[in-house]
Chain A
């Protein structure tokens, strides 16, 4: 239903979106997850035909958004980051105007406006001025606007941003209920949102796709990267090369040495339990093994790590000041390779 191929968008010197590819199947909800400035809005603006890409191609419902913009737009409903409302119009006036410019035939306009107001639950404010609405209602009127011409594809840019918890839950339920009939792409920088709403997640950071999978697989495959926290007392020498030498160890992230005690995070290949070998390696050196425990990464951490990747220098700075950050920065590379592994499985 949606195909994005090697999409790149530059604003002058800034590359906002860099060689992004993904596709969304009919009826699916795709979560577009990334921190602020990742390029979510930019990607969506290209998809909706608001602006052309610098390179690459995007098709919506079989129509190239650049070559056949009107056809593509007819089949797309879009809720921008800030709902595009005319403050002086009433909700009803506004939706009627939107119906006209979205090409809804005059005969079915009244019905479509009513249906979309019901679906987005804004019927009770139909005759209020848009400018006088609360944030929650604005967002819903924006949603009604996107749904109005019953488009095949819905592009929702941070649909729950700025809502209170109750409204967030309602909006998520609403979006879920729309899947099936509609193919939905929603962006968010809130992780639990994708886990709860979406069937598939594309994680984007600094304009690049860093992972793509189902929320469950992401958790499983990334969290499945065996990470083991090891603390050894070497009495002086560096333990990292030894631990690195153990079969199955992907990388060793040294964090801090205090009084000859080294703390490491050891990442191993998936499904390869290296704990026994680690213990014998440590013991054979005559070191003291002070602690050894598996580390499980939550989806939250994975997300943080994925999106912190490439900011190696930032991480290094953080590492010098705080233990856990240093771990995170390196672990992110591991998580990333894990994510790609997950892809090929899927």
Chain B
């Protein structure tokens, strides 16, 4: 585990040696902020119209509204943005080490494969967590000027973290298939988009098929988190997804080794 941490630390720092970390954090915070402002304005208009004469702004009784009409759609939108941003974090994990030959250092050091994989995963997930933490600054506003349900906010962020970590685990596997970061980025992006499309396909599918597709769909499981519900089924789903992604990574690492 100490080895995994050493790698995680190296990965995390590595993001900051290139503009990647600043670019992704900045981009994500910016988009999140813009969405936040848009939803906030929409929400204010709605509540002004609804609360005619009564309370202005976000009063206590409107707690449910803040959560349902502002936070939930905001987090759902954010989950889509995450899909666009995370391939930028996962793309370099293995592709870059293979290209530069440093994979040879890792693979000839007294490390187990899972230490390398977990280290890289935690490094990337750490940066992603930081990215999410920055967006919390806008959410803090809501707490200053209103009274939203903090459990829901936390559940939503937990959901985002799990969702993104699933993306990362898959992205790491794809990054291990190529020596080219950009290729890894595009393939990861395409695969994630396909996963997202499963949702839309489900809309038009028959009942059984819809059931299957929505169970598989990676974003479907996020909705409950956005609502503020932490359901074990969803936790298990994401945990399995992450495990599966890391497992594929470890298989492909081993396959590379045999191929030479």
Contact = CB atoms under 8 A, between A and B. Distances in A.
B60 interface: no
B168 to A, nearest CB: 21
Interface stretch (B78-86, B100-108, B138-146, B200-208): B100-108
Given A82-B101, A97-B6, A101-B6, A49 B108 contact: yes
Interface string B237-260: 000000000000000000001111
B110 interface: yes
B102 A85 contact: yes
A285 B116 CA distance: 77
B26 interface: no
Contacts of A102: 109-110
B41 interface: no
Contact of A51 (B102, B111, B260): B260
B80 to A, nearest CB: 31
B17 interface: yes
Contact of B108 (A11, A78, A82, A86): A78
A102 B102 CA distance: 14
Contacts of A101: 3, 6-7, 105-106, 109-111
A84 B101 contact: yes
B107 A49 contact: yes
B112 A86 contact: no
Contacts of A76: 108
Contacts of A98: 105, 109
A74 B110 contact: yes
B18 interface: yes
Given A51-B257, A101-B3, A88 B17 contact: yes
Given A51-B260, A70-B110, A70-B112, A88 B105 contact: no
A80 B3 contact: no
Interface in B87-111: 100-111
Given A9-B260, A51-B258, A101-B6, A84 B110 contact: no
A50 B113 CA distance: 12
B14 interface: yes
A84 B105 contact: yes
Interface of A: 9, 11, 16, 42, 45, 48-52, 69-71, 73-74, 76, 78, 80, 82, 84-89, 97-98, 100-103, 145
Interface of B: 2-3, 6-7, 10, 14, 17-18, 100-112, 257-260
Given A89-B17, A100-B3, 8 more contacts: A11-B260, A42-B260, A52-B258, A70-B112, A84-B103, A85-B100, A87-B100, A102-B110
**Top 8 A-B residue pairs of the complex, sorted by shortest distance between their CB atoms:** A88-B17, A84-B105, A100-B6, A73-B110, A48-B108, A84-B102, A74-B110, A101-B109
